Amino acid sequence: MEKRKIIAIVGPTASGKTDWGVSIAKKYQGEIISADSRQVYRQLDIGTGKDLNDYGNVKYHLIDICDPGESFTMFDWLKRARLIIDNLFSRDKTPIIVGGTGLYVQSLVEGFQLVTEKFKVQSSNVKKFKREELEGKTLKELQRICLRLKTDDLQLDFNNPHRVIRAIERAQSGEIVKKKKPDFEVLQIAVDLPREILYRRIDQRVENWFEEGFITEVQELLNFGVDPKWLEKIGLEYRILAEFLLKNQRTEGGINKIEFEEMKARMKFAIHAYARRQLTWFRRFPEIVWCKNLQSARKEIKKFLK
């Protein structure tokens, strides 16, 4: 039997991945599976660049599947994505992964497995920490706990609290990191845009958001009781705007124009940096094919599907 084939369109934010994905989906009767860690949330629309009109009559998956405030992780995404892929193949559709959350795409392409080996866990007299407890600790304390657990994670970045917390959790539960080659083949295409154009698109996008009512969107999330801490974790624009709105509420007298412009600038720069991080991520995978335009992407896809 011929190997099943999947197309993935990746790239930095604001690079036009969705348009490419939609165009390809139309051509090959595909359906889109979004690989975007923020578009999974309902009501996070403007700031996630969730433009559902762009899809036309192309079917999409894994967008608007959670409520704000819920937690959603890579493995949540991976499980669902795998189910959808099986379903699409059974209906003879081409799965098209589109998104900028590199880790999600990688987990699917490389076939991440979660195997818990209980016997590895140390005896119960060692105190086990919960995520919330760990989050309250300083880096020094985390490092100490981590060392005590004797993790075998040699590449662990000890300055990175998130990574240290995960290493502790892994050691406590006996999780082992494993991969299993998936039974499908993936062509990964990255949108390759000159840096200045990418930055210009990001800046323009931010301007548009505010015209489209981004402030109202975030204000309503806050009004409806979404935890500001959750918004902070969501990051980038939601973090920056929520912070700004909360501060301006306290000072009353409406929004300070200068502070508003400063906030917007901060937002743009934060997204530039994010795009850079995404590029760094994608560059580490040599199998990714970088395309400067949709035409060359189409050519690659044609070759791949042959």
Partner RNA sequence: GCUGGGAUAGCGAAGUGGUCAAACGCAUUAGACUGUAAAUCUAACGGCUUACGCCUUCGUAGGUUCGAGUCCUACUCCCAGCA
Residues that bind RNA (CB under 7 A): 13, 36-39, 47-49, 71-76, 100-104, 107, 110, 112-114, 116, 131, 135, 155, 157, 159-163, 165-166, 169-170, 175, 177-179, 195, 199, 233-239, 266, 269-270, 272-274, 276-281, 283-284
Shortest Å distance, C-beta 294 to RNA: 22
* Nearer to RNA (CB atom), residue 89 or residue 269: 269
Alpha helices in 58-194 (DSSP H): 74-90, 102-109, 131-135, 139-148, 161-173
Shortest Å distance, C-beta 236 to RNA: 4
* Nearer to RNA (CB atom), residue 125 or residue 159: 159
Nearest to 194 by CA among 12, 36, 9: 12
For residues 258 and 249, give the distance between their C-alpha atoms in angstroms, rounded to a whole number: 16
Nearest to 247 by CA among 239, 159, 46, 281: 239
* Nearer to RNA (CB atom), residue 29 or residue 73: 73
Shortest Å distance, C-beta 29 to RNA: 27
Shortest Å distance, C-beta 222 to RNA: 17
Q: Which amino acid is at 305?
A: L
Shortest Å distance, C-beta 300 to RNA: 22
Nearest to 274 by CA among 181, 206, 180, 189: 206
* Nearer to RNA (CB atom), residue 58 or residue 170: 170
* Nearer to RNA (CB atom), residue 94 or residue 101: 101
Shortest Å distance, C-beta 302 to RNA: 29
Helix and strand numbers (H, E) in the chain are: 12, 8
Give the phi and the psi of residue 217 in degrees, each rounded to 5: -55, -50
* Nearer to RNA (CB atom), residue 183 or residue 302: 183
User: Quick check: 113 and 48 in contact, CB under 8 A?
Assistant: no
User: Quick check: 32 and 58 in contact, CB under 8 A?
Assistant: yes
Secondary structure of 15-50 in the HEC alphabet?
A: CCHHHHHHHHHHHCCEEEEECCCCCCECCCCCCCCC
* Nearer to RNA (CB atom), residue 75 or residue 224: 75
Shortest Å distance, C-beta 49 to RNA: 6
For residues 84 and 95, give the distance between their C-alpha atoms in angstroms, rounded to a whole number: 8
